[in-house]
Structure 1
Amino acid sequence: MQVIAKAQQAEGAVGQAGASRGIGREGPSLFDGVDLHALAAQVSTPCHAYSANAIRERIAGLQSAFQGLDHRICYAVKANSNVAILQLMAHHGVGADIVSLGELNRALLAGIPAEHIVFSGVGKTTEEIASALAVGVWRFNVESLDELQLLQEVAQRHGVCARAAARINPDVDARTHEKISTGKSENKFGVSIDEARRWFANAGSMSNVLLDGLHAHIGSQILELEPFREALTRVEAFRRELVDAGHPIASVDIGGGLGVCYRKGVDHPIPAAEYAGLVRVVFAEFQGTLVLEPGRYLVAEAGILLTRVIRVKPGVDRSFLVVDAAMNDLLRPSLYEAWHEIVPLVGGDREPARYDVVGPVCETGDTFARGRAMARCEAGDLLSIGSTGAYGASMASTYNSRPLAAEVLLDDGRYAVIRRRQTMAEMIAGEQLPQVWNET
């Protein structure tokens, strides 16, 4: 790691709560003790930066909230799959919730033990199931009868027993964005309680699958406790029904979904202690293992996207602030119309202005904000786009042949590059001109 912040600047950041590490709280341009102007000068923009301390503190807060309960935290790898982030999770006893063979390989490479990995997702293939069985993942969250039958076939072929949980769809509205709602009957995830009941009734016919768990995940970025209460109450009622019918349940996976603050004064996340309190009440009679799958909650607010102003473009009705980051670097505003705080890292007392903040990609949707009020900006100014640690780099692409941005990890005034900026050669490494034509 390379130190680029003065010791006296970093000193004030050490030991502060994760939420206090945001831009403007440590200083005008400090993040986890690192001077962002110096960072941008050395790494260049756009780049993703993550606070190791903010992630650690979120992990510790969740572990503390569930202290005394038999529980496992399995980080949802899709939120941010950088191997360095996964290694940080592993070092603090956090497992992984995966949805692909690629995520399995990343988790193992980062040092997360296979026995701390749960495999979710509606489209598991024969190859993925076989690979997961070969390394000994802890359990599979099964989402359809076809998948359950395939799991039995593959496990039998390999002479092993797969542990499985039935993902039920409790038909609960998570009151979040429709594209990240997963617990309603119209969504593709899980099965009805009626169907799951039939699975357990026929579980004895499966020689190589131990169906002894339940799983439910109703959505992401949930800011109200009531949807959790409704969903988890239905899961627990079904668990008791199964136990009474002679089907012991060893684990209940309650998913993730805890929201974070993207917009100050508007988003009010549920405190971890309140969520844990609800879980304690609902599952007071449960003697097995509770599984949590936080993703966004652990990493979103720990990340920022640094970008520079290319130019200010006056328009007829509005002014456009054109920056060097684009929708290929951060898709959420375009995909979900999501709000991210945008902070100009400029000195002095500049007068206020209002901009549409846009990137250089040739799409009208390449817009980070519309009519956003902020300090007046000039070409070359550095900006921070907040809460991009989740679904930022992990959803990035090379659209418009733009290289993937660098990613850096910050830790008490130090930084380390954990993904170098992609080169043109790396971008086209898999491409080639036609050399051999094959007949079908």
Structure 2
Amino acid sequence: MDHFLYRDGALHAEDVPVAEIAASVGTPFYLYSTATLVRHFRLFDEALDWGPHLVCYAMKAASNQAILKTLAAEGAGMDVVSGGEYRRARAAGVPGERIVFSGVGKTRDEVRLALEGGIRQFNVESEPEMQVISEIAGAMGVTVPITIRVNPDVDARTHAKISTGKSENKFGIPISRAKEVYAEAAALPGLKVIGIDVHIGSQLTELEPFELAYRKVAELTEMLRAEGHEISRLDLGGGLGIPYTPSNVAPPLPTDFGAMIQRTVGHLGCEVEIEPGRLIVGNAGILVSRVIYVKQGEDRQFLILDGAMNDLIRPAMYDAYHDIVPVVQAEPGAEKVPYDVVGPVCESGDTFAKGRMLPPLKADDLIAFRSAGAYGAVMSSEYNSRPLIPEVLVHGDQFAVIRPRPSFDEMINRDTIPEWL
């Protein structure tokens, strides 16, 4: 469910007409709903009410500070994968003890940053990283909690580029080597081994891969406890998918996910962490764009928008589907026509959809890409010297620009010309 609905034929974000925002900020722009963000977070939080837990929002999905502050006010922790994300979380007022630091390539500077600013735990992905954290923590005279990410070799049955739990993926240590790696960690100064971390991928639309992985984690917990390790926390990652495509089969709900977690690891008495990103913010955001031209090709019509692949890269990068709707609702019974929906970037890859059936549209009409809140703004770029587009947050009958569109001068003046030129 989201809060982007038609009222009297006009698409609204909560209580604000989308066309009103477009007239104020210009197109294209990202638009988020506070009510949807809060509702989705609460669904996850309530799904784990059966035991001690923390829902750590995966910031890589959308990292605007206004989104972070909205979720932090609900009690969310944050899952960060870079020093920049850590700084964003802290700038948004999230305390260090609610920040989990994941990622395979933590630098020495990032480790120091987190140790100085406070950290709930590092999710360690390799033995060299573990040794670096130990060295830096020892030099600073501190002890840092860690979990070790294990790779359970489970097929997440998702897109190859967002699968992370198979043996050929770069993430974590093979679960078969967990016993020796945990023993090594326990012997290193400055580290306190507190748990296990696992994450098998993103946009999973069934629970079976999660359950296979979590049952392996449960077995590993028992084995490590028998070896004398204090395993008190399980970081079970995220990855639950959202319904991008029209389908009669919806992905599992957070309630189903929480019940499955209780069924597989609830008996262990561990604190549970999960790291949802897409399901919290994906349907909480849309991309609004304007039709520049309707172009007749040899055998098709092109709907040319002012939004482009640099604004929303998912269709070009993942062949991803986004539902596209007009901001002004079509008349009842209006016959749909096929369009290739494209942007103005000089690449054939700048294509959002082919043969998409839409109501008849014309130049200057507004359209919206649904389910664009996750991996939209955060993956955008200034390719073709196109400025980053605004982000806007709605709260009831109010809206605010939470990232302004830079001017062309601001964009160009970031370049520095050497003296010899």
- What band does the TM-score fall into relative to the shorter chain? over 0.9
Give the superposition deviation at 1:197.
1.4
Which whole-Å deviations, capped at 9, do the CAs of 1:4-38 have from their partners, x for residues lacking one? Answer: xxxxxxxxxxxxxxx15234379531121110111
What CA distance in whole angstroms lies between the structure 1 residues aligned with 2:203 and 2:266?
Answer: 26
Aligned to 2:218: 236
Query: For residue 102 of structure 1, what is the aligned residue in structure 2?
Result: 84
* Whole-angstrom distance in 1 between the partners of 2:295 and 2:110: 49
Deviation of residue 267 (structure 1)? 5.5
CA change 1:109–1:26 in 2 (3 A) is farther
The residue number in structure 2 matching 1:431 is 415
Equivalent residue for 2:192?
210
Q: Where does residue 83 of structure 1 map in the other structure?
A: 65
Counterpart selection for 1:179 from 161, 164, 169: 161
Output one character per residue of 1:23-77: Cα deviation in whole Å (capped at 9) or x when no partner. Answer: 4379531121110111111111000000000000001111111113110011111
Is there any run of 5+ residues in structure 2 with no aligned partner, and where?
Answer: none
| Aligned counterpart, 2:396 | 412
The verdict on how the C-alpha distance between 1:198 and 1:46 changes in structure 2, with shifts beyond 3 A counting, is same
* TM-score, normalisation: structure 1: 0.93
Is the CA contact 1:26–1:33 (under 8 Å) kept in the aligned structure 2?
A: no
Deviations 1:94-119 (A, max 9, x none): 01000001000000010111000000
How far residue 248 of structure 1 moved from its aligned partner, in angstroms, is 1.1
In the alignment, is the contact (CA less than 8 A) between 2:4 and 2:11 conserved in 1? no
- Distance of 2:9 and 2:113 partners within structure 1: 48
- Of residues 138, 143, 161, the one that matches 1:161 is 143
Deviations 1:193-234, CA, capped at 9 Å, x for gaps: 132211222234211111221000000010101001101000
* Corresponding letter in the other structure for 1:285: H
Other structure's SS at 1:112 match: coil
Q: Structure 2: which amino acid aligns with 1:340? A: H
1:346 maps to which residue? 328
Listed as ranges, the matches of 1:243-392 within 5 Å are: 243-265=225-247, 268-347=250-329, 349=331, 350-392=334-376
Secondary structure, counterpart of 1:284 in structure 2: helix
CA contact (8 A) 2:137 2:191 kept: yes
Displacement after TM superposition at 1:416 (Å): 0.7
Deviation at 1:265, TM superposition (A): 1.8
Q: What's the offset of the Cα at 1:352?
A: 1.6
> SS state of the match for residue 410, structure 1?
strand
Which runs of structure 2 are paired with 1:63-74 in the superposition (5 Å)?
A: 63-74=45-56
Distance apart, 1:249 and its partner CA? 0.5
- The 1:170/1:322 distance shift into structure 2, 3 A limit, reads same
In the TM superposition, 1:46-61 aligns within 5 A as 46-61=28-43
Q: Percent identity?
A: 46
Maintained 8 Å contact 1:223/1:267? no
**What is the identity, as a one-letter code, of the residue corresponding to 2:82?**
S
In 2, Cα distance between the equivalents of 1:347 and 1:144?
A: 52
Q: Give SS of 1:168's match.
A: strand
CA contact (8 A) 1:301 1:386 kept: yes
CA distance in 2, matches of 1:378, 1:340: 20
Q: How far does residue 428 in structure 1 lie from its aligned partner after superposition?
A: 2.7
CA contact (8 A) 1:260 1:267 kept: no
Question: What amino acid is the match of 2:193?
Answer: L
- How many angstroms does 1:425 deviate by? 2.4
1:415 positional shift: 0.4
Alignment of 1:131-170 (within 5 A): 131-170=113-152
Alignment of 1:34-45 (within 5 A): 34-45=16-27
For 2:186 and 2:283, the matched residues in 1 are separated by 45
In the aligned structure 2, how far is the partner of 1:275 from the partner of 1:26?
Answer: 37
Q: Deviations over 1:115-161 (max 9, x none)?
A: 00000000100000011011110100001111001111111111111
Tell me which amino acid in the other structure corresponds to 2:382: T
Shift of residue 346 of structure 1? 3.0
Task: Give the secondary structure class of the aligned counterpart of 1:222.
Answer: coil
Return structure 1 stretches of 4+ with deviation > 6 angstroms. Answer: none
SS in 1 for 2:374: coil
2: CA distance, partners of 1:258 / 1:436: 53
Instruction: State the alpha-carbon separation in 1 of the partners of residues 252 and 8 from structure 2.
Output: 24
The size of the alignment, in residue pairs, is 419
Q: Aligned letter for 1:212?
A: I
Name stretches of at least 5 consecutive residues in structure 1 with no aligned partner.
Answer: 1-18
Displacement after TM superposition at 1:317 (Å): 1.7
What is the RMSD computed on CA atoms of the aligned residues?
Answer: 1.4
SS of 1:221's partner is coil
Equivalent of 1:29, from 5, 8, 11?
11
Structure-1 separation of matches of 2:305 and 2:130: 48
